[in-house]
Structure 1
Amino acid sequence: MAHHSSDSTSTSKPPRRYLQWPLPLAAIWLLAPVVGILIRLSLEPVGPHDYWWHLAMGKLIAATGGIPTENLFLYTLEADAAFFDQPWLGQWAMYALYEAFGHAGPIVLRNALAATAWAGIVGAALMRCRDPRVVGGLALLTAVVSGPVFGVRTQMFAFVPYVLLVGVLFAVATERLRRPWLLVLVPLTALWANLHGTFMLVPVLAGLTGGSLVVEHWIEERTFDPVQIGWWGGTVLAVSLAAMLNPLGPHIFVYVWELTFVSQVSETVTEWQPPSIDTPMGVVVLLTLTASLVVLALRRKKVRLFEAVLFAATAYLAVSAVRQMFWWGAVMLMVVPRHLSALLSLDPWWEDRTSQAQGVAHAVAAAVLVAAAVASQPGLWLHDVGSELRAGVARRTPPAQGLLKVDSPTRLVSQLAERGYPGTIFHDQASGGYLGFALGIGPTDARTNQVAFVDQRMELIPEAVWDEYFQLSRAQQGWREVVERYGIRTMLLSPREQWRLVQVLQGDPAWTLVGVDEAHLLFMRSDQTDHLTQWR
């Protein structure tokens, strides 16, 4: 492992600026991944799973001024069953934006955070590899495979802090920044620990970076540098203590560990599963990872130990779960481009003269990209066009037309709130958070009601309740007994996910179909005459 104090590539003259006249093609290479991810996210309607649950908790936090510590919404558990709401600050922020701007508020914030994160990581990568063709091309490829990670949920608050984390670690490790810059990670961790559980990446990646540098120094000098050990060891300790500045204190580490490695969420939720090679995204991930390993193997004598360790650690996260793709993608952009650029031996991009005509063409292309990114935001024409093209995925009727996926039964739930319903509601899991948001919190006194069978809290719901959920959804033997035990008299069902139960109810005179939404059917018990009259 060769030690380098700088990542700069030696050149005969300093490179031209990326933004100067005539505008070089380099500007397009660097703009494309940022604009690409922004347009992709803007044209994708928001799914119901985490979105509604976070809004429900944000609504409760705003109404009560406190952080929930109990179940509250599930009638399948005791109302006071202990529950820890770790991303409370992100939930409150999402709800505040929703209150002020409707669904467009959280969506635009997600888009802005994603664009900022990608601009930041592209800029940091350029500090290590000056070639915008390599950096921009790899960034565009990475944006394609990591796009699904950027949902409208509290995880969106982690991407900019992560880019800052990676940027600081690489800059200090390569001596572009002095070690005191590591102190920036302390307040960053304190904030992050109240936004999303991925704050654990700070002590882990800082520890891996510092440990790699200590080992690297020992290999080269056969001595340990106590100052180096003190700075990196102190940083890991300081950020670990900073993470305890949350409502759960030091137990937050146990919570994250259990959620990640113990809870059944890692076994049952698709985005917690490894990327499958049966999907186009999985194939692209496999090819990109393989190509990156080949590049690093060919350049092994020039690869720093900390680069290899961070690449391996985050690659492990990426192949373990789809939702962790960006963590690896950002590190890959910091590690691979400079080695790939050296292997390709490309002519320096700044040696190609840009004519006035080319500069105009590049400027027009850049303006079109920026205009498309702006026009793709909610309420603007490109977003409306995209919603029409996404017919069958995005809602085509109010409320939330074009913004949410059809999986959010907004019309039926609004009617449930207005007209009432008998008994308790059985529903598809995706609607659990929405029922908590719309029906579980009183409009004036913030009193909560147990309205959902299951919701998004995989770590809270015991396996026995999940067994009953699937027993009902599949109309398996004994499902009627489950209905009677919980007093279920209303069913809000997804034909796609609960088709067997829908078939049974349609042929059962004991149940009556009272409402239809774009992707949901609403049934009520036929003996509930007062409610049936109200709905008819």
Structure 2
Amino acid sequence: MSATLAPPTTTPSPASNSADSSPPARTATVSSNPANPTAAAQPLASHAGTTVLVTACCLALWSLASGRLWHTDLWDHLNYGKHLLQTQTNPVTEPLLPLAAGIRMVNIPWLAQIGMKLTERSFGPAGLQLLCGLCGALALFPIARLAARNARSTTAGLFAAAIFYIVNRHELHVIRPQLAGLVCYCITLAWTLGSQSHSLKTWIGFTALFAIWANLHGSFAMGLLVLAAAAAGRACDVFRRSRCIAITLGDHQLHRNLLLLQLCSVAVLLNPNGLLVYPEIFSVSGNANTTSMFEWQPLTLRMPHGQIAAAVLATAVLCVRCSPRRLRTTEVLIFSGTGLLSAWSARMLNWWAPAAAVLLAVHLTAILRPQLNRIRFHLPVRPSLAWTALSLAIIAISLAATPLGAQLRSGTPPAASATLSRETPIALARFLREQKNLPAGLNWFPAEWAGFIMNQTQGSLPSMVNLHVHLIPEEVWSDYLRISAGSADWINLLDEYGINLVTIDKRSQALLLKRMRESTDWQGLYEDRQSVVLTRRKPL
């Protein structure tokens, strides 16, 4: 694939997308936009601008790969990955939680879970850190390259990468199957907001992409929505210019967009769950249990990432108003549609961030172009194998600088305290793993810690819940929340579920801890700075 940042040089038709673009302008600062025929003779040659964008993405890779592993649903996915490898089958009912036994499970991200578990098994936590960094960098690059191509300026690509990273940093640092879905989404978005060419590689590539995506994460639905927006946007643009329904319905580009949408919708069915993947998407997002989860709540200005998103939104609207460029309907549909989804659920900010980054970066560059041109700093415009070699060298250096690179050089894995988040109950898990005479039966763990504790104890301590809350019966989840809050009937609920061991997070379950310490039926077994373990004096 040629790494040139130049836009396609084909002559646009009267109803083409380029009719909505601004007139060609002078080369902007840090630009690289030649349509050089020598690039075809050297398919591996790249422009200097590409190397600049690769460097920016490698910085993000190093930052993400050096971050600590989060303590929440990462470990649940690793537990499911371990179960998949042990049984060699994709479960149809929940396999790890006794209280959810028999509940139908449509495990869409099975392939991602296996990949994560194999990475952990081969390279330890440092391998998971690198996996997080790679996914983040692979998501950033197509967005940065798209902005650079659309604006004909590498500066726009740098703007887009920075905006995307800042808006979505809280999601990029949490490794989960969603990161693999984000990579696929950004590739789809880059095509949709770019040239929308329909070559043979496009048909084969997107069919394969969606077939794989449907086995990595349920976000393939967002990819289908983006392709639907491409078709709807194309129809609106053609009708707006032609004012004729017949011309709109006969548009060949529209037909190809619709056919690609249908083809990808069918490719999604190449998964172990078949048609069940479609209703599963809605059952997860509409599950009553998710309303109690912070990340599924509406995005508000009380959230730090909500404040950042609001600032980006206001800036984007202002830039679009002042920019000499015109908007395509597809851009408006994707930007506004994903924005509304983000307002409904903070988790959806993951899909708005790349679209907002491209729109803001391109229009901001168009506004600043006269000022940027005065700097008169231009990168070499001729593609060269030397820039490709330099890009590969930068990638190699960034990989070597990660914790996994250090581990491979020294042969010693980093300490758990250096790779896991400070909220991870490392000492607690070590204590529970070493105990031989813990009471039998169900255990009560904070949902955020359950996956890690089950992972570290090899599943020997079954938990009441974990963070796959959509698989937990509503009554069980409601009772869990009441116990966690230290409600008046906490002791009756623990008796009802036959729980003999309770682990408490001192920070979030202070009232429950206070009441259990006041009870004569429970005694302390372990305590550290963040947790307390209590057991019944007379086990049930």
**Alignment TM-score, normalising by the size of structure 1:** 0.81
Instruction: Give, in angstroms, the shift of residue 247 of structure 1.
Output: 1.9
Residue 298 of structure 2 aligns with which residue?
A: 274
Give the partner amino acid of 1:94.
M
Residue 389 of structure 1 aligns with which residue?
A: none
Classify 1:231/1:16 alpha carbon distance in 2 versus 1 (closer, same or farther; 3 Å): closer
Residue 24 of structure 2 aligns with which residue?
A: 10
Instruction: Give, in angstroms, the shift of residue 406 of structure 1.
Output: 3.6
Instruction: Give, in angstroms, the shift of residue 26 of structure 1.
Output: 7.2
Give the partner amino acid of 2:194.
A
Classify 1:368/1:160 alpha carbon distance in 2 versus 1 (closer, same or farther; 3 Å): closer
Q: Is the 8 A contact 2:143 2:157 kept in 1?
A: no
Q: Is the 8 A contact 1:186 1:242 kept in 2?
A: yes
Within 5 Å, give how 1:351-362 maps onto structure 2: 351-352=376-377
Is it true that 1:166 corresponds to 2:177 in the alignment? no
Instruction: Give, in angstroms, the shift of residue 115 of structure 1.
Output: 1.3
Within 5 Å, give how 1:92-491 maps onto structure 2: 92-150=114-172, 151-173=174-196, 178=199, 181-221=202-242, 222=244, 223=247, 224-260=249-285, 262-299=286-323, 302-346=326-370, 347-348=372-373, 351-352=376-377, 375=401, 377=403, 380=406, 400-418=416-434, 419-423=436-440, 424-439=442-457, 441=459, 451-491=462-502
Q: Is the 8 A contact 1:58 1:91 kept in 2?
A: yes
Give identity over the alignment, percent. Answer: 21
CA distance in 2, matches of 1:54, 1:91: 6
Residue 58 of structure 1 aligns with which residue?
A: 81
Classify 1:215/1:379 alpha carbon distance in 2 versus 1 (closer, same or farther; 3 Å): closer
Q: Is the 8 A contact 1:125 1:334 kept in 2?
A: yes
Residue 40 of structure 2 aligns with which residue?
A: none
CA distance in 2, matches of 1:481, 1:266: 25
Classify 1:178/1:300 alpha carbon distance in 2 versus 1 (closer, same or farther; 3 Å): farther
* Matched residue SS, 1:459: helix
Classify 1:379/1:271 alpha carbon distance in 2 versus 1 (closer, same or farther; 3 Å): farther
Instruction: Give, in angstroms, the shift of residue 97 of structure 1.
Output: 0.7
Give the partner amino acid of 2:24.
S
Q: Is the 8 A contact 2:159 2:361 kept in 1?
A: no
* Matched residue SS, 1:502: helix
Classify 1:206/1:405 alpha carbon distance in 2 versus 1 (closer, same or farther; 3 Å): same
* Deviations 1:396-434 (CA, angstroms, capped at 9, x unpaired): xx9722211243323333443442410321111112223
* Matched residue SS, 2:188: helix
Q: Is the 8 A contact 1:8 1:128 kept in 2?
A: no
* Deviations 1:452-489 (CA, angstroms, capped at 9, x unpaired): 11111211212221221122223322222222222211
Q: Is the 8 A contact 2:127 2:404 kept in 1?
A: no
Q: Is the 8 A contact 2:522 2:535 kept in 1?
A: yes
Give the partner amino acid of 2:266.
L
Instruction: Give, in angstroms, the shift of residue 25 of structure 1.
Output: 11
Classify 1:310/1:475 alpha carbon distance in 2 versus 1 (closer, same or farther; 3 Å): closer
Give the partner amino acid of 2:72.
H
CA distance in 1, matches of 2:55, 2:23: 24
Give the partner amino acid of 1:10.
P
Instruction: Give, in angstroms, the shift of residue 114 of structure 1.
Output: 0.7
Q: Is the 8 A contact 2:65 2:402 kept in 1?
A: yes
Classify 1:189/1:338 alpha carbon distance in 2 versus 1 (closer, same or farther; 3 Å): same
Q: Is the 8 A contact 2:93 2:103 kept in 1?
A: yes
CA distance in 1, matches of 2:374, 2:50: 11
CA distance in 1, matches of 2:331, 2:64: 30
Q: Is the 8 A contact 2:502 2:533 kept in 1?
A: yes
Q: Paired residues, what number? A: 491
CA distance in 1, matches of 2:199, 2:361: 24
Classify 1:508/1:302 alpha carbon distance in 2 versus 1 (closer, same or farther; 3 Å): same
1:90 to 76, 93, 112: 112
Q: Is the 8 A contact 2:469 2:477 kept in 1?
A: no
Give the partner amino acid of 1:513.
G
Give the partner amino acid of 2:109.
P
Worse-superposed segment, 36-45 or 219-228:
36-45
Instruction: Give, in angstroms, the shift of residue 54 of structure 1.
Output: 0.3
Instruction: Give, in angstroms, the shift of residue 40 of structure 1.
Output: 4.1
Classify 1:326/1:83 alpha carbon distance in 2 versus 1 (closer, same or farther; 3 Å): closer
CA distance in 2, matches of 1:348, 1:216: 32
Instruction: Give, in angstroms, the shift of residue 50 of structure 1.
Output: 1.0
Instruction: Give, in angstroms, the shift of residue 87 of structure 1.
Output: 0.6
CA RMSD of aligned residues (A): 3.6
2:103 to 81, 88, 103: 81
Give the partner amino acid of 1:413.
A
* Matched residue SS, 2:18: coil
* Deviations 1:317-375 (CA, angstroms, capped at 9, x unpaired): 333333332322222333333333222343437833799xxxxxxxxxxx999968854
For structure 2, list consecutive stretches of 5 or more residues without a partner in the other structure. 1-13, 34-46, 381-392, 408-413
Classify 1:408/1:337 alpha carbon distance in 2 versus 1 (closer, same or farther; 3 Å): closer
